[in-house]
Amino acid sequence: MLSIILPAKNEAPALAGLLPRLRAAQPDAEILVLDDGSTDGTRALCEQLGVACLSAPYPMGNGAAVKRGARAAKGRVLVFMDGDGQHDPADIERLVARLEQGYDMVVGARAWSGQAGVGRGLANGLYNRMASWMTGHKVLDLTSGFRAVRAEKFREFLHLLPNGFSYPTTSTMAFFRSAYPVAYVPIEVAQRIGRSHIRPLRDGVRFLLIIFKIATLYSPLKLFLPASVLFFVLGLINYLHTYLEAGRLTNMSALLWSAAVIVFLIGLISEQITNLTYKREG
């Protein structure tokens, strides 16, 4: 059985057109709308169209809605879609077909034209490159919200998923870390209906933190070790300069070398914490 999960916050205009298309494309699928404290009649619309709607009493975040949907879904395969009308229901079949080839997660990868603005496109490109470097696998779209996954595998990582907008990043890196195969299928996305809930000023720092989350979810030493080496080299350069100029060791060199040791130890501890995070009892 297939379960389609749509987190939505005040997306009634988009859902009015999307839900009938979803039902036509996947008549046997379970469709769940996760209403994240909407005030625009989302629940009434779902009742009118005969679609299950799980409403939160107040907004908890996109990731929180995804987690509630994953817990409530009955299908062995979960398909996550945005509720803003960007994703084409016809692409679900393509994602599920790739899943049946032995993959545990299949992500709908957007082209540059599908990015929400130049700034978001550049940021997503940076995320993809860093994730590819960390995992050793080509990551085409780390932050896409359109994906199909095996339910039992996805539920293993619910405790790791944040309540905000970075659940795609977290789940993708968790699958790579656990050696669950991930594939990508190119998709086209439509212009979203309504306004985005992402605010650059409010969410800018949060998106910068995704960079560190990518590292800490996979292999922290890959991030901390180069930083440690950089501090050590800078300390060595400073020492050679001051030794040749004044014949002495300065406090700056000692400080840089101390920073190198501290950063390395932080990375080592983070690596152990990451290993414990993914350790499964039994």
260 versus 120: the higher-pLDDT residue is 260
pLDDT score of 281: 43
Cα within 13 Å of Cα(123), Cβ side = 20
Q: For the residues 248-259, what does the mean pLDDT come to?
A: 93
In this structure, what token pair is assigned to residue 7?
């987190």
Q: For the residues 180-185, what does the mean pLDDT come to?
A: 95
pLDDT score of 73: 96
Give the residue carrying structure tokens 């994602």.
Answer: 95
pLDDT score of 201: 47
Q: For the residues 255-271, what does the mean pLDDT come to?
A: 93
Q: What's the pLDDT tens digit per position in 149-172?
A: 999 999 999 988 888 777 898 899
The model's pTM is 0.79
260 pLDDT above the threshold of 90: yes
Q: Residue 151: which residues within 8 A CB-CB, separation 6 or more?
A: 3, 70, 73, 75, 76, 77, 78
Share of the chain above pLDDT 90, in %: 55
On the 0-12 / 13-18 / 19+ scale of CB atoms within 10 A, 53 is buried
pLDDT score of 195: 56
2-217 homologous superfamily? Spore Coat Polysaccharide Biosynthesis Protein SpsA; Chain A (3.90.550.10)
274 pLDDT above the threshold of 90: no
Q: For the residues 47-73, what does the mean pLDDT come to?
A: 93
So where are the chain's domains?
2-217, 221-277
Q: Residue 89: which residues within 8 A CB-CB, separation 6 or more?
A: 18, 21, 22, 24, 25, 26, 81
pLDDT score of 162: 85
Q: What's the pLDDT tens digit per position in 91-146?
A: 999 999 999 999 999 999 988 655 555 666 777 788 888 888 888 889 999 889 99
The number of angstroms, rounded, from the C-alpha of 60 to the middle of its chain's C-alpha atoms is 17
pLDDT score of 276: 78
pLDDT score of 118: 63
**Mean residue pLDDT across the chain:** 87
52 pLDDT above the threshold of 90: yes
Q: What's the pLDDT tens digit per position in 227-242?
A: 999 999 999 999 999 9
pLDDT score of 7: 93
Count CB atoms within 10 A of the CB of residue 62: 25
